[in-house]
Every structure is written in structure tokens, then in C-alpha cells.
Amino acid sequence: MHGSAEFVKGKNYTASELMAITTCKEFRDWEVAFVGIGIPLVAGILAKRLHAPNLSIVYESGSIGPEKFRVDFNVGDSSAADGALCLTSEWRVFGDLQGGYYDIGVLGGAQIDRYGNLNTTAIFGGGDYRRPKVRLPGSGGGNDIGSSVGRVVIMMRLEKHRFVPRVDYITTPGYLDGSPGARERAGLLGGGPVAVVTSKGVFRFHPETREMYLHTIYPGVEAEEIRQSVGWDLKIAGDLQVAPDPSEAELAALRAADPANLILGGAGARERLSGLDEFVELTLKHAKR
């Protein structure tokens, strides 16, 4: 998913920053994490710099446990290999994923349904799979992560056209039709989604019905506002939590992890850079070595 540079009303942080900081808390120290690029990756880097210094990040390109000196813009950027514990092949890391070695995966998506099924392939609109309204990138490694990793955290901006009763195309399986044992029957090895971190709050999944419910709201957000942004009759936790504002230390660590703001800030941030020299300078200045 892509960033935006606008501050949340009345706050000193953007929605993308709050999502990254919230997601980072899902990682535990010593875990092995398979993350997608963009904000999910920044959340992983942040976790390493805050509470989980021994977190190992795995990239599908074949890098296991790199130091995170620099932010990556693609899964195969040379930066993804910086100081890695193991540099190997793509088929080998997918084998290790299937082998049950990876604890947590973080994914973005364009559409999600109440059972956590994710679409990153195509928005059909008036069309169909062959001629969709919007063609998206496709699975990449998303389906593989969602199929086999220990637990999945999903990051998505909360918008009604994204939180839909049925996704146009299930790229990555969540709990499928929500029936008991649906994942096991299909032959899936991984545990499935545990959280959906959005721009307004965090959803989790009911242990029996497998349905997504509202677990945590961000400061200044009303639960009703969230209900209006979801395409089904959203259930809300009896003990709904309110997340704290991120601390100055968290925000500083996050901004140092993406020093040119190119992931969290998107296209606008690119235009604000004077040129490549400034990018090189910022990258070297904030490289944590």
C-alpha cells in the first residue's frame, strides 16, 4: 500500500505513520517475518529498531535476516540484502515458508471481505477478470504468504469500496467462506489473518465465526464512522479499545526508517526532494550501522 503525506486532523502524524506504528507492535522479538514492500516493510524495520531487535525479515527474492540499514522500494532491491544472514533463492524461501519456518506475514490489498479474503488481482467494476475496471499487480508472493505463514496481518486504508461483502477475486485466502475448518479442508497450512490494521482502527477475527470485528479505534475516531465505512453489518468488541497516540520516540524512529519519506509520503515526497544527491545524503545519514 502507498503512503500519503497529510496529517490526521489535529494530530502531528499521518494515517500511514499511525498504521505503520500500529502494525509494528504485531511483530515479536526473535520472530521470522515475511513482509511485502511498502508500508508493511517499514513497519517491520520499525519493529527491529524499537521492541524487536532480533526480528528477522525474509524477502521473497531470497534474502533472510538482513540488517535494515536502508528502506527498500522493491523486494529485490540490493538494500534487501544488506548484511543478510543468508542469501539464497526465491524457490528456497517459499519452500521454507511452506515448511512452517515463518511466524508472521504482513500484506496490503485493494479489497477485503468479512472473512479476511484479500483481492490484489483485479477490480472487476462493470467488467470481468479478462477485462476489469482496474487491473492490480496480482498475487506476487501474497497468496503464498497468506496460505502458509503462521499468522497474517493485513494493512489497508479504511474505505467503503475496499471493505466489501464479497471480493471480486480471492487472491489470498483468509477464512474463505468462514465455515469451521474451511482453511484446513482446502489444504492450507498457515493460521490465517489475525488483524487488519486500517487508517481508523484495528479489526480482529472472532475465534469461532471467523468474522472480522472492530477491536481498537484510533484517538479521535468514532466507532460509528467506522461502521459506515464497511460494506457489511460490522460487529464491535464489547470492550472496544482506544489506541494511544504514537509517542515522539516512535514517530522519530519511524521517520528515520524512511528518511526521505518516499514510502510513507508517496509521490508528493519525491517532488519535494531536490534530486538524487539529497536522497543519497539522507539515506547515508540515517543508515543505522
Partner 1 sequence: MSDRGKANKLMSLQEAVSTYIKDGCSITFGGFIGRDCLAAVHEIIRQGIKDLVVIDDSKTDVMDLLVGAGCVGRWEGAYLGYGSIGLANNVRRAVEQGIPRPIDLEDWSNAAVSMRFLAGGLNLPFMATRSMLGSDIIKYNSRIKVMEDPYNGTPVALVPAARPDVAVIHVQRADAMGNAQVFGFTGNDGNKARAAKHTIITCEEIIPTEEVRRGGNLTLIPFYCVDAVVHVPYGCYPQSCYGYYAYDVLFCGEYHEMSKTREGFLKWLDRYVYGCRDHLEYCSRVGWDRLKSLTYLERQFNRV
Which residues 56-85 are close enough to bind partner 1 by CB under 8 A? 59-63, 69-70, 72-84
Q: Is 60 a catalytic residue?
A: yes
Q: Which of 26, 60, 159, 224 is catalytic?
A: 60
Q: Does 98 bind partner 1 (CB under 8 A)?
A: yes
The Cα–Cα gap between 110 and 89 comes to: 28
| The only residue of 4, 16, 22, 171 in contact with partner 1, by rule CB under 8 A | 171
Q: How far is the CB of 240 from partner 1 (least distance, A)?
A: 31
Q: 10 Å Cβ neighbour count for 157?
A: 19
Options 124, 163, 169, 218; binder of partner 1; rule CB under 8 A: 169
Number of residues that bind partner 1 (CB under 8 A): 76
Which parts of 174-193 interact with partner 1 (CB under 8 A)? Answer: 176, 182-183, 186-189
If the CB atoms of residues 242 and 267 are measured against partner 1, the closer one turns out to be 267
Residue in 3, 2, 5, 23 with CA at minimum distance from that of residue 246: 23
CB of 228 to partner 1, least distance (A): 27
Nearest distance from C-beta of residue 50 to partner 1, angstroms: 21
Q: How far apart are CA 258 and CA 2, in angstroms?
A: 13
The correct pick among 191, 223, 273, 286 for binding partner 1 (CB under 8 A) is: 273
209 lies in the binding site for partner 1 (CB under 8 A): no
| Contact between 148 and partner 1 per CB under 8 A | yes
* CA dist., res. 256 & res. 108, Å (int): 22
| Site membership for partner 1, residue 2 (CB under 8 A) | yes
Rule CB under 8 A: say whether 237 interacts with partner 1. no
CB neighbours of 13 closer than 8 A, spacing ≥ 6?
A: 7, 21, 245, 246, 251
Per-residue contact track with partner 1, 8 to 37, x per CB under 8 A? -----------------------------x
Q: In terms of Cα–Cα distance, which of 46, 23, 5, 62 is closest to 193?
A: 23
Q: Does 105 bind partner 1 (CB under 8 A)?
A: no
C-alpha cell at 100: 512452517
Residue 241: φ, ψ to 5° = -90, 155
Are 207 and 127 a contacting pair, CB within 8 Å?
no
Whether 188 contacts 179, CB under 8 Å: no
Report residue 215: phi and psi, to 5°. -105, -40
Task: Give me the least distance between CB of 22 and partner 1, in Å please.
Answer: 19
Decide if 227 contacts 132 (C-beta within 8 A): no
Member of 51, 267, 272, 288 binding partner 1 (CB under 8 A): 267
Grid cell at residue 79: 538494500
Stretch binding partner 1 (CB under 8 A), from 8-16, 238-246, 247-255, 262-270: 262-270
**Annotated catalytic sites, by residue?**
60
